[in-house]
Amino acid sequence: MSRILVIAGTDSSGGAGLSRDVAMATTLGCAVAPVVTAVTVQTNAAVIAIRPIDPDLVAAQIRAAFDSKDTAPKAVKIGMLGTPEIAQAVARSLPLSLPVVLDPVLKSTSGGQLMPVAALAPLLRHVTLLTPNLAESALLSDSAETQDRQQLQVQARRLLALGPKAVLIKGGHGDGPCATDHLFHATGHQALSCPRLARGKRGTGCSLATAVACRLALGDELTTACHTAKNALFRWLKT
């Protein structure tokens, strides 16, 4: 069984974070080596408390995951980091040879602020795929939130200049009959669409990024991994 390293926070409600990461990875036939960055107390409506883990302990968890070559992860997914110090510890500890998917968790769906934008900077040069939603793409590129494809391309160019090899701007929080994600990379652009469902769920960002990391660990190239991950997310949202 392929194994991925998931660096993220816990969510006491089970609706997001490592709980969702493990659930999605399991459906795709991957095991998870979890690295806890923060313990959060949440409900579906609010973030009640956040306790970040010591950065040295976060780094130690990453090192331990690679101690055995037989079970070493083949891809990395990064979610909630919590503090700039944890982000720096992760950046120093990541192996350079693996694909890395970064879901830039800046706020929770229930409204709590989870990470300052500038704290992600040390990580971006390690990232294979950055997966912001529309609001996160606007914040990270210092521009207005939009669904316009040309404006998203401008945002993507700014984000790619920060270091990631590719950017997947997710359209799930937008409007219209289709939820369209836009994959931008050095050689082009692909639009990934599915029908927009009447209701959403918490943990969609966690789930999609984890699904991409799983498919990369299983040997997919990036565009195929993103397509397959979006289909897996759509199936989960329909249940």
Least confident of 14-23, 113-122, 147-156, 203-212: 113-122
At 37, is the pLDDT very low, low, confident or very high (cuts 50, 70, 90)?
very high
Lowest mean per-residue pLDDT among 36-40, 54-58, 117-121: 117-121
Which is higher by pLDDT, 67 or 105? 67
pLDDT at 121: 86
Amino acid 16 reads A
The better pLDDT of the pair 208, 122 is held by 208
**Does the predicted model carry a pTM greater than 0.85?**
yes
155-199 pLDDT per residue, tens: 999 999 999 999 999 998 888 889 899 999 998 999 999 999 877
Stretch 38-43: mean pLDDT: 92
pLDDT of residue 110: 52
Instruction: Answer yes or no: are the C-beta atoms of 21 and 95 closer than 8 Å.
Output: no
Give the best-scoring range by mean pLDDT among 11-20, 31-40, 166-175.
31-40
pLDDT for residue 118: 78
